[in-house]
Amino acid sequence: MRIFGQRLLNVLTSRETLALYRMLMGEVSRFPALGRLVFSSVPESAVRHLAVYLKQQTKLGVLDVKNPTRAAWVFMEMLQGDVHMRALFNPRVKLSPADVRKSVEAAVDIFLNGARPRALRTE
């Protein structure tokens, strides 16, 4: 999950992706088909791949994910968090690899372990 998260967040915070996202937000009301195309080719595609992985890990008994597709969306939203928002709304912000790594680590930890005290976690 860390590798997936790292790659996805690197793409989402790249200068090119942020510029595309900003442009789309301004134009999607005039060109809704463009919004649908980008949505289906990027986030929905990533969710499908992650959901397959989560389903496989559940079958192996490594994870216990009741709804892999919903879980994949939640994980992707967790990944974006403040890092993506800071980069999106401030074109001059410079994200370091450490910023991205910390965001990914936090999302993976919370996603896999939840917010339960360690003593109550089932591992």
Distance CA(94)–CA(80), nearest Å, equals: 16
Q: Each residue of 11-53: pLDDT tens digit?
A: 999 999 999 999 998 999 999 999 889 888 888 999 999 999 9
Q: pTM above the 0.85 mark? A: no
| pLDDT above 70 for 110 | yes
Token pair for 2: 């860390």
Query: Are 13 and 84 a contacting pair, CB within 8 Å?
Result: yes
Residue 83: C-alpha distances to residues 15, 39, 55, 66 (Å): 13, 20, 28, 28
Domain of 62: which CATH number?
1.10.357.10
Query: Are 71 and 65 a contacting pair, CB within 8 Å?
Result: yes
Number of domains making up the chain: 1
Domain ranges, residue 77: 2-120
Give the pLDDT score at 69: 97
Strands of the chain (E only): list them: none
